[in-house]
Amino acid sequence: MAIACILDKRRIWLQQQLHQQQILQEQQQDLLDNLLHQFRNPLTALRTFGKLLVKRLQPESANGDVAVSIVRESDRLQELLQKFDEVIDLTPEDLVSLKLPQTNEVFVEAKVEKQRESPLLLPGIGEKAIDCNLLDILEPLLLSARAIAQERGIQLIAETHPNLALVRVNKKALTEVLNNIIDNALKYTPSGGKILIQTGQKKANFQGIKISDTGPGIPTEDLEHIGERYYRGVQAQTTIPGTGLGLAIAKQLIEQMEGEIEIFSPAMDSSITSSTPGTTFIIWLPLKRSEGVDS
């Protein structure tokens, strides 16, 4: 009887250890996914800058080799990233079924979901929100977005206002959010299409930045799932690569800044029209406290 009792206690202890290990592994997977995802944006920008440099340098330039090497090395990095993507493509279900006996699945999943609410390791997490000018964050991003758009034959129109009210944001986190949404516009808009980026949208206590494109749009049945981790909707059937993490990361970062993301498809902007529905994202950022309407 006593031995049975000890064995039972030991079994429970081992089960708890296993659950704990599973939670840690899931968290580690989330952190790795996020970091790898954010790695892709600067790499695409670097590769495009390298290509532009190759084009712009005179053939006899002594710097020609350097520019070619930048492109070559970034191609290598992209290949390596492709390998990481294959690992990321494993769904959480794949991972759970790989690691857990079926009987424990429900209990562990509930615990894992709870743990996932904790802040993920992303640029800017843990840093304080400060009052800043949106243009200071947006302008460097526009530099690389313009280069990428040019290379892909997309027209990028930026309508920015110089005297915007200050917003209270976490700068690094907002950079990641804008990067992910602009990256989507660049990725899903086919060559010949347009992207319109406008600052100065207004509603009580918020200032908005609007990003519209003339891409394929997002079907109504996908809209309610957009922002769920790994959800790609109709785009999962296409050859356009992606992990379905960009907007989930953006949503989480924006929620932490007490801002909002709105998605519209068909796009809202009549100034850029096309035969495809297009998509509009509005990112609402909290105004500096004293600039808010009711403060």
| Contacting positions for Mg ion (CB under 5 A) | 184, 246
Q: Which is nearer to ligand ATP, 229 or 288 (CB)?
A: 229
277 near ligand ATP (CB under 6 A): no
213 near ligand ATP (CB under 6 A): yes
247 near ligand ATP (CB under 6 A): yes
193 near ligand ATP (CB under 6 A): no
- Residue 218 binding result from ligand ATP, Mg ion, none, given CB thresholds of 5 to 8 Å by partner type: ligand ATP
**Residue with the CB atom nearest Mg ion in the bound state:** 246
Is residue 149 within 8 A of residue 190, CB to CB? The reply is no
Rule CB under 6 A: choose which of 50, 232, 253, 264 binds ligand ATP.
232
Among 184, 188, 196, 187, which Cα is nearest to 155's? 196
Site string for ligand ATP, 11-50 (x = CB under 6 A): --------------------------x-------------
Q: Which is nearer to ligand ATP, 50 or 278 (CB)?
A: 278
How many residues in total does the chain contain?
295
Select the span of 66-74, 115-123, 157-165, 178-186 touching ligand ATP (CB under 6 A): 178-186
Distance CA 70, CA 151 (A): 16
Instruction: Tell me the HSE value of 163 on the side-chain side, using a 13 A CA sphere.
Output: 0
Shortest gap between Cβ of 100 and Mg ion (angstroms)?
A: 30
The amino acid sitting at 270 is S
Task: Give φ, ψ of 147 to 5 degrees.
Answer: -65, -40
Q: Would you state the structure tokens that stand for residue 31, as one six-digit string? A: 């952190």
Distance CA 202, CA 56 (A): 41
Strand ranges, E, within the chain:
130-132, 155-159, 167-169, 194-203, 206-213, 260-264, 279-286
- Residue 26 binding result from ligand ATP, Mg ion, none, given CB thresholds of 5 to 8 Å by partner type: none
Distance CA 131, CA 169 (A): 6
Select the span of 69-77, 110-118, 210-218, 254-262 touching ligand ATP (CB under 6 A): 210-218
Q: Which is nearer to ligand ATP, 22 or 252 (CB)?
A: 252
The residue written with tokens 């769904």 in the block is: 91
209 near ligand ATP (CB under 6 A): no
Task: Give φ, ψ of 14 to 5 degrees.
Answer: -65, -40
The residue written with tokens 């808010």 in the block is: 292
Shortest gap between Cβ of 18 and ligand ATP (angstroms)?
A: 30
Rule CB under 6 A: choose which of 96, 122, 226, 282 binds ligand ATP.
226
- Alpha carbon distance, N-terminus to C-terminus of the chain: 68
- Residue 213 binding result from ligand ATP, Mg ion, none, given CB thresholds of 5 to 8 Å by partner type: ligand ATP
Q: How far is CA 130 from CA 126, 147, 256, in A?
A: 12, 29, 13
| Binding site residues, ligand ATP, CB under 6 A | 37, 180, 184-185, 188, 213, 215-218, 222, 226, 232-235, 242-248, 279
